[in-house]
Chain A
């Protein structure tokens, strides 16, 4: 509590220099003891770049989670392919393929058969379309350009409600691609957003689970010491000294379907994601384990641990109730930094074609697809990389900010 008191006293001293006097409520506010999380929070806010980073991450998370909404607003479908419009540059509007249009019209006719019949009769009466069978009138209308189709609706003498419905159908005749299209004519914006879900999801999951593994191993090694410590730490050292990317590639190249036990456990769709998370976890828990072991080693000698031992607490209680709260702050930093690193590794592996397998989009495998086309469509290669850069730099800044915030040397009082 010593530091907290000086903190408040200093603040009081500063305040008392000012001419106007404080009212009682403000003094009470200043005298209140600040919790450690509050101090860390206040300290974190001082680090401008970290705060910007935190908002960037929040923004990306929100965008990733609102993928279905964006899909609806932009009027695009993430999985629709269009071979006639591949590698379109950003900000292009293309007219949809015949099958998309006919699907929309069919859906409309199925949902509103009565009004569809009226429209078909009107279309033929006004001689906008010439068809042998009246049922084909709407399909024939669907072949118009969007503007022409809209104009035709305006001239028809039908109810306003039906006109609105038809306009909604006609809107689908054109697709606006904010970031252009990729090698299969898919919308790059939607691919990027779904890629954000995958890449950030993998990054966060890997960081969290490797932190858990590291916490467990580090705690056991630090608390029990002796032979267990030596053995666990030698394993950690051995894994740390391996060159990461070559090892990851070798492990990623193993086909898990060939391993009899795992084949039944893994469903086919998410296999590559689960496998990637698993592989990255195996090779990223070591720094956490070292960090936790170091903290636990010093904690072990402290009086409060002796006190709880004297009171008859079990090892489990001592480790989880008394030691873990003391390592959470540095752990948080290393998880945050770990997310950025895992995103980079995921991207690197997917970039080499060994990570997340298409059609599931991730930033890495979008780059993998794009690298062969840099002459024709350079933007395809630039966009996913920019997102990786933004997200990783944000996580690194947040980690740096947290590090400064929990470091007692840098806390300003």
Chain B
């Protein structure tokens, strides 16, 4: 990311004169000291004036809305998907520790944590988009299609989501499943589990109501901390699959020197992560009545 915008204009226009440069600098306020420029920018942001995109020549606010929705859909779907896969896997392992199933799932978990998600994405594209041609290699929806029903729209967009969601979820599946296993093992060792079994409760109720409820507390911490990493990972996944979300916007604006877009999308992504952390903190209280916020 080189220099300031005026330098870029100079390189784009060789006929520019020194007087023009000075005029441009004062027009954009670049001749002021750095702290003053910062305060100008912060007060503009606070007023909701996010500025214009240098590359697309449209207000940043117009770009942010659709991008945020797409990223939100991608992150939520992959979070839900990874929880749906990881929790049953983890519980399965915790109920039969050191069995063959446990070893296989453990290997899968380690592979999931260790695999670079972007590489997995490439491999998935090679297999499903290039060789088998079952799924699209990238994008958001089929271009130039008018949807007749809502169902049709959802199905079309879902096809584009499958590969990104898998490559984004694989790491969190590994992490969540390992954590569920250890939290569940710990929870099932409690005395009240034995009591519940002794009084003749169905094993499903013991597992889910007594065991899992207690395993949830450490799990929520990990899930909350992972939201940030899923969000970060979304940047690479979005770039790889050409999915029009905030992550790809951050990347392309940084690469393309689109300052306003870069800064705003960066602020939004950081504040989304911070917000998620707060939500996780509040969730403790819901899950565990012993935690109170007085």
Interface residues of A (CB under 8 A from B): 49, 241-247, 249-250, 253-255, 258, 340, 344, 347-348, 351-353, 367, 370-371, 374-375, 378, 381-382, 384-385, 388-389, 392-393, 395-397, 400
Q: Does B80 contact A (CB under 8 A)?
A: no
Q: Is the CB of B122 within 8 A of A396?
A: no
Q: Is the CB of A389 within 8 A of B119?
A: yes
Binary contact track B115-128/A, C-beta < 8 Å → 1, others 0: 11011101101100
Q: Place the interface of chain B in its size category.
A: 35 or more
Within 8 A of A (CB), among B203-260: 228-229, 231-233, 235-236, 239-240, 247, 250-251, 254-255
A-B contacts, 9 listed (Cβ < 8 Å) = A241-B274, A243-B269, A249-B235, A258-B2, A344-B114, A348-B236, A371-B122, A392-B115, A400-B110
Q: Is the CB of B130 within 8 A of A375?
A: yes
How many angstroms from the CA of A344 to the CA of B111 in the assembled complex? 13
Partner of A245, one of B126, B233, B262: B233
Q: Does B81 contact A (CB under 8 A)?
A: no
Q: Is the CB of B247 within 8 A of A393?
A: no
Partner of B251, one of A249, A258, A396: A249
How many angstroms from the CA of A352 to the CA of B270 in the assembled complex? 20
* Smallest CB gap from B232: residue in A: A245
Inside 8 A of A254's CB, which chain B residues have their CB?
1
Q: Is the CB of A243 within 8 A of B3?
A: no
Q: Is the CB of A382 within 8 A of B126?
A: yes
Partner of A396, one of B114, B240, B270: B114
Binding site secondary structure of chain A:
helix
Partner of B110, one of A344, A388, A397: A397
Q: Does B113 contact A (CB under 8 A)?
A: yes
* Smallest CB gap from A344: residue in B: B116
A371-B116 contact, Cβ under 8 Å, with A241-B273, A246-B235, A382-B123:
no
Inside 8 A of B266's CB, which chain A residues have their CB?
246, 250
* Smallest CB gap from A254: residue in B: B1
How many angstroms from the CA of A385 to the CA of B125 in the assembled complex? 14
Q: How far is the CB of B137 from chain A (nearest CB, A)?
A: 9
Within 8 A of A (CB), among B175-218: none
Q: How far is the CB of A371 from chain B (nearest CB, A)?
A: 6
Partner of B236, one of A247, A351, A400: A351
* Smallest CB gap from A340: residue in B: B114
Q: Is the CB of A378 within 8 A of B130?
A: yes
Q: Is the CB of B235 within 8 A of A258?
A: no
Partner of B118, one of A348, A389, A397: A348
A246-B232 contact, Cβ under 8 Å, with A381-B122, A381-B123:
yes
Q: Is the CB of A241 within 8 A of B235?
A: no
Other CB < 8 Å A-B pairs besides A253-B255, A352-B251, A384-B119, 12 of them? Answer: A243-B231, A249-B254, A250-B266, A352-B236, A352-B239, A367-B118, A370-B122, A385-B116, A385-B122, A389-B116, A393-B110, A393-B113
Q: Does B61 contact A (CB under 8 A)?
A: no
Q: Is the CB of A374 within 8 A of B114?
A: no
How many angstroms from the CA of A396 to the CA of B240 in the assembled complex? 26
How many angstroms from the CA of A344 to the CA of B119 in the assembled complex? 10
How many angstroms from the CA of A348 to the CA of B229 in the assembled complex? 13
* Smallest CB gap from A237: residue in B: B277
How many angstroms from the CA of A347 to the CA of B266 in the assembled complex? 22
